[in-house]
Amino acid sequence: MSKPLISVRNLKKYFPVRRFLFAKDYVKAVDGVTFDIYEGEMFGVVGESGCGKTTLGRTILLLIPPTEGEIYFRGENILEYDKERLIEFRRKAQIVFQDPYSSLDPRQTIFDIIIEGPRYHGMDVGDPEEFVVSLLRKVGLEEYHLYRYPHEFSGGQKQRIAIARALAMNPEFIVFDEPTSALDVSVQASILNMIKHLQREYNLTGMFISHDLAVVKFMSQRIGVMYVGKMVEIGGSEELFEEQLHPYTKALFSAIPIPNPRVTRAKKKLIVKGEPPSPIHLPKGCRFYPRCPYAMPICRTKEPDLIEVEKDRYVACWLYG
């Protein structure tokens, strides 16, 4: 396996919530997450809504400052960068947001939206119009779209423009934050195929955030499963779909609908009851134990660490020591 491009160590992001005049509680959106993303791979992140997936992606890019932890880019801690090096990192690391309707400036033409980043960073792109047109064609748009405004495009076309804007910076790392969840099902497949093609063409390293397990399997080589701010399992996409280790991961995969009723009856499902705990008032031990059918006494008092139980398989569960 190649070297890690992005390494995250014990990353935390807490948001203060004022309760009374002076006292504060904290929403622990990301709470001690550790993982690596290797060069050339797409790392998928899945979990229930509110588990911290989007916050994790934005914190890695320093769009929101972390509360604690370390983030390494090519072995260097980006939290120690000075202003110049941080600007250079922002050129190399881009994001495609979930909502294509609000991520594009409605007052700018598509040409201005795409060329703004390269101009700010002083990149030599040759003829600006030819540069932008070449990017538009890579994402399935044409030259006559150049001077139109975002409101003249459909949701799928807007997301293509957002991807072209990210590619304009010649990035090394891109966070795709549920890039197809706001689109029609008929459009999603074409966008996903396009992203996969562009990843191969540009040799991109990426993090693909989604709650759709089938989409993450299609897009990613490895998958990390999050639960209430924690990474509870990491493994190869094929291995994870073949066998799940953590009880929450088993429950998550059990929820995938199977069109064949005979297969559905034959498949043993793990159904968990209740709701995820509040990210403000978390249980003392394992945060999944109130819903876990395999909970043991130690689960109530001590939180398990994410450990390697097989080669490149990591799980945070007391069932595995």
Quote the number of domains for the chain: 1
Range of the domain at 316: 4-320
Which pLDDT score is estimated for 141? 93
Beta bridge partners of 93: 173
State pLDDT tens for residues 208-218: 999 888 899 99
pLDDT of amino acid 35: 96
**Given this model, what pLDDT does residue 268 score?**
66
pLDDT, position 300: 93
pLDDT at position 7 is 97
CATH number for 288: 3.40.50.300
Ranges under pLDDT 50 in the chain: none
pLDDT at 262: 62
pTM of the model: 0.92
Average pLDDT, the chain: 91
